Structure 1
Amino acid sequence: MTVPLMRIQLDSDRLTARRVVELHRAGKTHRESRDAARAEVWRRGRTPAAEPVFVGVTNGEPVRLIYDVEVYRDVTS
């Protein structure tokens, strides 16, 4: 059984986005944005199944950080 992904976009600014990308390329994590992505999953009523994975940034204004987060399937009895 595959675990579904939820794509999260977080508003940011160019300076922060650049820093997140640099950290990602260095194999490190920008904790604040990762935690914000996790919190957004919870806010949308889903349960994260793994740590958020940084995917990239958008080119628009405002710039957005993109994370994919594995979430548990909704189980109803």
Structure 2
Amino acid sequence: MPLMRIQLDTDPTTARRVLALHRAGRHHHESREAARSEVWRHGRTPAADPVFVGVTNGRPVRLIYDVEVHLDTTA
């Protein structure tokens, strides 16, 4: 399945919280749902749950997710 990389703007406090949850083996549900919504907004269908990849170092801070998407088929 192809992957779609999603970057979500966030604040530094939320970024630290999401990173801490990830390191503890847990998920930040709000940001996962936001990543899934971005995939839909781009006209793709998610094939799996978003996978947290990391946090950018720049400003604005962004959460990075990879989401498997279904291939578009045309007949």
Q: Which residue of 1 aligns with 2:24?
A: 26
| Structure 1 alignment gaps of length 5 or more | none
Aligned length: 75
* Equivalent of residue 10 in structure 2, options 2, 5, 12: 12
Secondary structure at 1:18 match in 2: helix
The TM-score, its normalising length taken from structure 1, stands at 0.97
Identity between Structure 1 and Structure 2 (%):
76
Deviations 1:8-65 (A, max 9, x none): 0000010000000000000000000000000000000000000000000000111000
Q: Which residue of 2 aligns with 1:46?
A: 44
- Whole-angstrom CA distance in 2 between matches of 1:34 and 1:51: 8
| Structure 2 alignment gaps of length 5 or more | none
Q: Which residue of 2 aligns with 1:56?
A: 54
- Whole-angstrom CA distance in 2 between matches of 1:25 and 1:75: 37
* Cα RMSD, aligned residues only: 0.3
Structure 1 runs of 4+ aligned residues shifted over 6 Å read none
The TM-score, its normalising length taken from structure 2, stands at 0.99
